[in-house]
């Protein structure tokens, strides 16, 4: 038998040296620790499941009959939602236009008095201008008729003097009949439409009288 001393000596003689951490066998490192990938062994169940999933994702998906039915069922609802959204947009636009129209109507109503005053002023200015032109024309016609009457009276007097066989009574009557009426001088505001009608009637009568005298 081996004594304890001998056995201890034997163990101390063949003792295993301690392993230094630097001498431990380490797996080969990659460029970065985060780039390591732990893959299961080729024959393990995890590897078989991983390869099965990767092959399934690589295959293109084909629409099934159930998915087509689901799309057909959801299509009217999608169209309804699109229509509702379009209706909301149109309603918002319409409300904006109504607000703008209301603001414009209020502005026009507020400025209606000003616009009415401007129109009245313009009409008064136009009326004054037209009346002034009409008065100028009437005065011109009066002056022309008066000159014609004077010439007609002078010609008649010369004829009466040359004849000497007739009395001067017709000449006096002619002068009395050809006396021009006094010119009515009034402002534009005093002369109304009726006054212009009377003036035109008087001019017409004087022209008719001159025509009859010239024919005779």
- Tens-binned pLDDT, residue by residue, of the chain (216 aa): 444 444 444 444 455 555 555 445 555 444 444 444 455 555 555 555 555 555 444 455 566 777 888 888 888 888 999 999 999 999 999 999 999 999 999 888 888 888 888 999 999 999 889 888 888 888 888 888 888 778 777 776 666 676 665 554 555 554 544 444 445 444 545 556 677 777 778 887 888 887 777 776
As given in the structure block, the two tokens for residue 81 are: 């939602």
Angle at 42 between CA 28 and CA 52, to 5 degrees: 125
The pLDDT of residue 82: 92
Q: Which of 95, 98, 102, 202 is nearest to 145 (CA)?
A: 202
Per-residue CA distances from 186 to 132, 189, 193, 195, 196 (Å) = 12, 8, 13, 10, 11
Q: What is the DSSP letter of 40?
A: P
Give the containing element (helix H, strand E) for 213: helix 193-215
For every residue of 9-33, DSSP letters joined together read HHHHHTPPPPPPGGGS--PPP-SSG
The pLDDT of residue 209: 81
Q: Which of 122, 132, 118, 140 is nearest to 189 (CA)?
A: 132
Q: Which of 193, 210, 203 is nearest to 137 (CA)?
A: 203
The pLDDT of residue 192: 62
The pLDDT of residue 131: 86
CA–CA separation, 141 and 180 (whole Å): 13
Q: Which of 147, 139, 136 is nearest to 210 (CA)?
A: 147
Angle at 49 between CA 43 and CA 50, to 5 degrees: 95
Q: Which of 178, 185, 183 is nearest to 210 (CA)?
A: 178
> How many C-beta atoms lie closer than 10 Å to residue 66's C-beta?
8
CA–CA separation, 160 and 171 (whole Å): 8
The pLDDT of residue 96: 95
The answer to whether 188 touches 135, Cβ cutoff 8 Å, is yes
Q: Is the pTM of this model over 0.95?
A: no
CA–CA separation, 210 and 21 (whole Å): 150
What is the largest distance, in Å, between two alpha-carbon atoms of the chain?
210
The pLDDT of residue 90: 95
The answer to whether 30 touches 36, Cβ cutoff 8 Å, is yes
């Amino acid at each position: 038998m081996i004594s304890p001393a001998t056995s201890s000596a034997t163990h101390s003689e063949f003792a295993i040296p301690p392993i230094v951490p630097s001498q431990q066998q380490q797996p080969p490192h990659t460029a970065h620790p985060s780039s390591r990938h732990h893959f299961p062994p080729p024959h393990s169940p995890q590897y078989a499941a991983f390869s099965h999933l990767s092959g399934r994702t690589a295959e293109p998906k084909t629409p099934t009959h159930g998915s087509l039915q689901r799309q057909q069922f959801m299509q009217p609802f999608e169209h309804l939602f699109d229509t509702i959204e379009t209706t909301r947009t149109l309603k918002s636009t319409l409300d904006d236009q109504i607000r703008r129209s209301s603001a414009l109507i209020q502005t026009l109503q507020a400025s209606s008095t000003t616009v009415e005053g401007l129109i009245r002023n313009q009409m008064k200015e136009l009326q004054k201008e037209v009346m002034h032109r009409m008065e100028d024309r009437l005065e011109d016609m009066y002056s022309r008729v008066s000159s014609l009457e004077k010439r007609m009276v002078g010609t008649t007097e010369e004829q009466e003097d040359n004849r000497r066989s007739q009395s001067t009574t017709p000449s006096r009557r002619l002068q009395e009949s050809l006396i021009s009426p006094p010119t009515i001088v009034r402002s534009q505001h005093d002369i109304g439409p009726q006054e212009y009608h009377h003036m035109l009637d008087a001019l017409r009568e004087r022209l008719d009288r001159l025509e009859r005298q010239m024919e005779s």
